[in-house]
Structure 1
């Protein structure tokens, strides 16, 4: 009797110990985060930091880079994905608020083809001079561009992206002309800047903050209303005499039709991750303001920027195929 009881008790104890583990494993579903830019850029960095914060809820979490066309290739992939809450995209606001005004034809509808999950962060941009540029200040950059229109060049992560239009609006604001050189992401643009193949770059501050600190490039100004904590010595455009303020955000979306339960689970996981002190510190160190909003708040931010950018883009006359 005692031996049979001991065998039963041992089996029961083992079952009790393994049951919670099995349940936990079953509760953790896979998650794929698609990024429309190459590894090493701002979108990729954010996605990988967020992936670490989501692993308490999802397992495995895989970041997949599908660069090209300013994020449109990745968006097309996510649009066609199964709407089960296991495939999402992390991207800057440009493809969702600029591209509908910029391109004659898009193979996605920025509003109806995707499910808003969460607004992740706010951020600003930098105007960066490389070693081929002689300008050491915004005043010198503007003077050089006016003296020799079209001679200077600036790189961005792609045609029709937010940094591209930052450059266009900057040219309009100061009355100068620069040549735009699009790349497939911030990393390749950085390489060209450091290598002296382009003179300037408009992009997220975090892309060039370390290069600025080591003297390989010079961030001449930032585009937000406040200085960026990554480079507090760098003035805003307004402080440098250019009447221009422009910021943007990163968001997470799934394909259209993600069930409310799966959408809400994702949003709650993102909100919890954004509260983690270590993740917040990393993001703030990169110049990002962590948010972790509701789906409705992301949808509202997207609509507001869609409306805000319509007139300025029309004024540029830029319309791409």
Structure 2
């Protein structure tokens, strides 16, 4: 009997030893959710950060794309996650500091339901014209849009994003009514811009900078207060005669209740990864800029949890005013598709309904 018991115990121990490494590996995996599809700026920068964090944390880090609702679906999932530091979300600022002023039923409280971990970087946006727009500078394109109102469309990575607001600010300041065309991510928006289906796009420079350098599109202006040092030839909107500035940031967040030591550990590693040359350069200036120092681009990469809170507060004040200004704004949503199609079906969807 003792021999049988010993054999059974030995078998159980061997099974436990075989299972333990696999269970440990699962517990040690850090999952970072991104609320946008693969290929866009949020996804690319998140993957660059994940590559660096795998080394600094000495653990497996995976990117889990959960596109939809301009990043709100990913935030809702992280809200429900266990506060163990193994599930985070890489989110642009709009979903946390602007959406609360626009949508009465978000499904989350941006203050109570999340723990700021790290400020991945701040950046401005590019106003880019494709082959569907006429030649000339920004004023020439705006004049053409005013004369052709049915073609006065601009694309962004989604309704309710900061680029959406920047486009509406541009429309108001210039006196040119524009229809917003909302895509599910910057990559499909850039595809249609290059294909001539939409004449103008407002989004991060990383979405179009390589196409700009290749001559396929033209970045007409940047939305920052100063010129982007990676695009010194491109004026700001103010320099182009449009009194508009707009910027945003990417932040790393966890669910509410994260222990302070976990926050500090994740924050240190996340900031170190954000300051890496390749990640910081892509965030501020796009791919191919990693050979330059991050300090030579317009933007800030890598910040502590308190920096996220300060940026949240600053953009949140802007969001309150924007919600009142753009509540009736017209927005067309382009459904996801495998091959790019010609044109986008219009609808009277109201992005800002309360």
TM over 0.5: yes
Structure 2 segments unaligned to the other structure (5+ residues): 1-20, 287-296, 329-351
Superposition map of 1:39-58 within 5 A: 39-55=38-54, 56-58=56-58
Look up the match of 1:4: none
Instruction: State which of 282, 289, 309 in structure 1 corresponds to 2:299.
Output: 289
Deviations 1:207-260 (Å, cap 9, x if unpaired)? 100011111111111100121233221111111111111111111101111111
Provide closer, same or farther for how the CA distance between residues 274 and 309 of structure 1 changes in structure 2, counting only shifts above 3 A.
Answer: same
Report the more deviating stretch, 279-288 or 181-190. Answer: 279-288
Provide closer, same or farther for how the CA distance between residues 289 and 215 of structure 1 changes in structure 2, counting only shifts above 3 A.
Answer: same
Contact 1:51/1:63 (<8 A) preserved: yes
SS in 1 for 2:197: coil
Look up the match of 1:320: 353
Look up the match of 2:238: 238
Superposition map of 1:236-275 within 5 A: 236-275=236-275
Matches of 1:284 and 1:138, distance apart in 2 = 22
Provide closer, same or farther for how the CA distance between residues 174 and 101 of structure 1 changes in structure 2, counting only shifts above 3 A.
Answer: same
Shift of 1:124: 0.6
Contact 1:66/1:73 (<8 A) preserved: yes
Look up the match of 1:168: 168
Shift of 1:43: 0.4
Look up the match of 1:157: 157
Deviations 1:32-75 (Å, cap 9, x if unpaired)? 11111111111011101111111121410101111111111111
Contact 1:283/1:290 (<8 A) preserved: no
Contact 1:104/1:320 (<8 A) preserved: no
SS in 1 for 2:170: helix
Contact 2:83/2:254 (<8 A) preserved: yes
Shift of 1:296: 1.8
Matches of 2:126 and 2:151, distance apart in 1 = 21
Contact 1:118/1:294 (<8 A) preserved: yes
Deviations 1:118-165 (Å, cap 9, x if unpaired)? 111010101111111114211112211222334321111111111111
Look up the match of 2:102: 102
Matches of 1:163 and 1:284, distance apart in 2 = 15
Matches of 2:218 and 2:137, distance apart in 1 = 9
Look up the match of 1:210: 210
Look up the match of 1:85: 85
Look up the match of 1:193: 193
Look up the match of 1:65: 65
1:298 corresponds to 2:308: yes
Look up the match of 2:147: 147
Structure 1 segments unaligned to the other structure (5+ residues): 1-21
Matches of 1:284 and 1:201, distance apart in 2 = 17
Provide closer, same or farther for how the CA distance between residues 73 and 244 of structure 1 changes in structure 2, counting only shifts above 3 A.
Answer: same
SS in 2 for 1:291: strand
Provide closer, same or farther for how the CA distance between residues 277 and 178 of structure 1 changes in structure 2, counting only shifts above 3 A.
Answer: closer
Matches of 2:275 and 2:249, distance apart in 1 = 18
Matches of 1:281 and 1:178, distance apart in 2 = 32
SS in 2 for 1:197: coil
SS in 2 for 1:292: strand
SS in 2 for 1:45: helix
Report the more deviating stretch, 181-190 or 282-291. Answer: 282-291
Count the aligned residue pairs.
297
Matches of 2:250 and 2:298, distance apart in 1 = 9
Report the more deviating stretch, 274-283 or 294-303. Answer: 274-283
SS in 1 for 2:303: coil
Shift of 1:293: 1.8
Shift of 1:297: 2.0
Report the more deviating stretch, 102-111 or 237-246. Answer: 102-111
Shift of 1:291: 3.1
